[in-house]
Amino acid sequence: MSLGQNPPLAQNSTVTKYQNSDEEHVSFSSPPFHLSSSHSPLQHIPLLNMDAATVAKVAAAGILGSMYIDSKLLISRDWTQIRAAILMQSYHFMRKFKGKLNYFYRFKEKLEAHPDKIFVIFENESWTYKDMDRASSRIARWFQSKGIKKGDVVCMMHQNHPSLFVAQFGLMKIGAIPALINNQLTDAALIHCVKVAKSNFFLFDPVYAGAVQPCVKELSDLGIEIWGYGEHEPSMPFAETVTKDTLARFSDAEISEEYIENAQYGEPAMLIYTSGTTGLPKPAIVEHTRMNFGGMSYMNIHGVHGTDRVYCCLPLYHSSGQIVATAVAIQSGATLVLGRKFSVTKFWEECIRYDVTVMVYIGEICRYLLSQPFNSAENKHRVRMAYGNGMRPDVWNRFRDRFGVGKISEFYGATEGPSSLFNPNTNEFGSGAVGFRGYLTRTLTGELKIIKIDPISEEPVRDKHGYCIECAYDEPGELLVLIKMGGPLEFKGYYKNEQATNKKILTHVFAKGDAYFRTGDLLKLTKDGFFIFGDRVGDTFRWKGENVSTAEVAQVLGVYPGVAEANVYGTEVPNHDGRAGMAAIVMQDGASIDFKDFFRFVQQRLPKYAIPLFLRFVPAMEMTGTFKQRKVEYRNQGIDLAKVTPGEPVYWLVGDTYIPFEKEASDQITTGKAKL
């Protein structure tokens, strides 16, 4: 074999191209060379001209040595991620060279290879790649007839339904940018989301007509065109509906690639809204490269194949639905089984009905499933892997043992963040960690740092030279990610919001001029290389799978008649994931509160997950020396009545009103008899 030739794979190695997948997965069932007594490759090296027995001893020692090193440094775990990174980079540069970085090319690749492959299953209805392509071409031409062109942003507010993909892909085909709005938003928050996207077109599923109608006048006054399109075609007095008959007038022929070819770094594929650390929802830029890297990394590291059926009941307006589930299904060629919403009673039945092999989760889903009484259906499924984020350590092994899901693959990352963590796990070692990076990966990349944070100010602690201080092993601190300018996953921030973007960037961290992305999360790193999630830094907390902005909630509470001041924070609740919303409230002198009316007031102005579940009435607010509200003390006291200052009554939400939260109710929550 000459030096110019590629060496053949070993006899026992395999290159597997999974069914309906264009991506290759390489695996070795033995070392990539065959070691025998008569044909040792070491014998051809003059300095190692040893007899076969000596070679065998050296080889055995080498194997034992490598096993020992691996047991200490966990290099084999690192290799999974390093290999995935190599694959991603190679495919990335190949696509860039061909001018096919645009995320929609991933759909086109599967369409051309397997047009009749089922792309998505939804409630006994199947859509092939060809079906979806034709439907999206029709609506793409309809969008063009309405003046939508390449680079325009179109706001979408839809439920989990194939019609969302039809509209989304239709926009992407003509180079437009879908902005996916949380379908639980109403009133001011909804109007805000449309306005900040700088969009002149708003498409919504008519199922949300009740939420959209109060916003129509203000949006129309801003020159925003409003149309309904979705599962059903009702007649609405305030907006026209795009019907099947309307779309039938447009061709379903292939759309020219001129709108998507030669995409560059930084070009947005879509906007996905996030609450951020403060304020109203912000549209995060999700670039084509991020969609491509996300799909490939989750596919390779978690191990999703073209023969899989991936079940997703997470909202498609969120990155969990769009990247973690859909992009992975498209990238791998797997079939996406789409649930309208999460149903704890129907979850396993749907997995069985649609022959699901892989499920996507958030932590709360797994806890809810565990909380249900035994159902015979839960052991008849074929789910081999669950991957997602937010599974709590106390749920992890119980979920695996009860439901027989052999592999749990956790990841950690932000929609707009420049990096992610992964922890593919099949046993108790490493269970509960949100990610893993061993010595080798950390040495090669060095992009992740955990720094000390002041628990009161929640700001980085700096040394005498003005630089941040890195945490020791097992010491919690804020996770930072190095921002690499010009790279394919460079942090692009929030759409046309420089102020919000700058808040996520920390400079002069370890050297003058460096820049890191602030995750806003407290994590710790173990000596084995596992990252353990602790809590979120700052004002935002997570409840029911959503990030809640305390500033947004406090703004709503503060305008209720009689409320002088509101301080909102998240509180830990026994037997519940995340933090429940709680507000410390100062009433105006002589004012009283009608709790039923108060609930109606906040219900009309906040998403369900953001409504405070606990209220604490205080005579005066705790303030810092710079007249900022203190949250840490309130958060630490939470709903522990033994810690709450006497004379500061606590109420909790029961039904449509707030009632006193006393010891009996506290005991019921602690023992798990009461659920929020």
pLDDT in tens, 157-196: 999 999 999 999 999 999 999 999 999 899 998 999 999 9
Q: Considering 536, 567, 586, which residue would you say is the last residue of a domain?
A: 536
The answer on 137 and 82 residing in a single domain is no
Q: What confidence tier does 615 reach under pLDDT thresholds 50, 70, 90?
A: very high
Q: Across 9-23, 110-124, 428-442, 507-521, which has the greatest mean pLDDT?
A: 110-124
User: What average pLDDT does the chain have?
Assistant: 85
Does any domain span residue 498? yes
Local structure of 59: helix, strand or coil: helix
Local structure of 374: helix, strand or coil: coil
Number of structural domains, the chain? 4
Does any domain span residue 396? no
Local structure of 476: helix, strand or coil: coil
Q: Rounded to whole angstroms, how far apart are CA atoms 554 and 569?
A: 9
Tens-digit pLDDT profile for residues 27-73: 323 333 233 333 333 333 333 333 444 434 444 544 445 444 555 55
Q: Rounded to whole angstroms, how far apart are CA atoms 376 and 365?
A: 19
The answer on 56 and 42 residing in a single domain is yes
Bridge partners of residue 451, in order along the sequence = 470, 478
pLDDT at 49: 37
CA distances from 347 to 9, 337, 365, 401 (A): 43, 12, 10, 17
Q: Rounded to whole angstroms, how far apart are CA atoms 311 and 321?
A: 10
The answer on 546 and 530 residing in a single domain is no
Q: Which residue reads 């060496």 in tokens?
A: 7
Does any domain span residue 225? yes
Does any domain span residue 461? yes
Does any domain span residue 558? yes
The answer on 531 and 444 residing in a single domain is yes
Tens-digit pLDDT profile for residues 570-585: 999 998 888 899 999 9
Number of neighbouring beta carbons within 10 Å of residue 209: 18
pLDDT at 73: 55
pLDDT at 57: 45
Q: Considering 261, 287, 316, which residue would you say is the last residue of a domain?
A: 261
* CATH value at residue 608: 3.30.300.30
Q: What confidence tier does 441 reach under pLDDT thresholds 50, 70, 90?
A: confident
Q: Rounded to whole angstroms, how far apart are CA atoms 392 and 319?
A: 20
Which of 370, 363, 332, 330 is CA-nearest to residue 348? 370
Range of the domain at 597: 541-670
pLDDT at 175: 97
Does any domain span residue 133? yes
Q: Which residue reads 């928050």 in tokens?
A: 189
* CATH value at residue 171: 3.40.50.980
Look up residue 14 and give its amino acid: T
The answer on 164 and 43 residing in a single domain is no
Burial of 593 (0-12, 13-18, 19+ CB in 10 A): middle
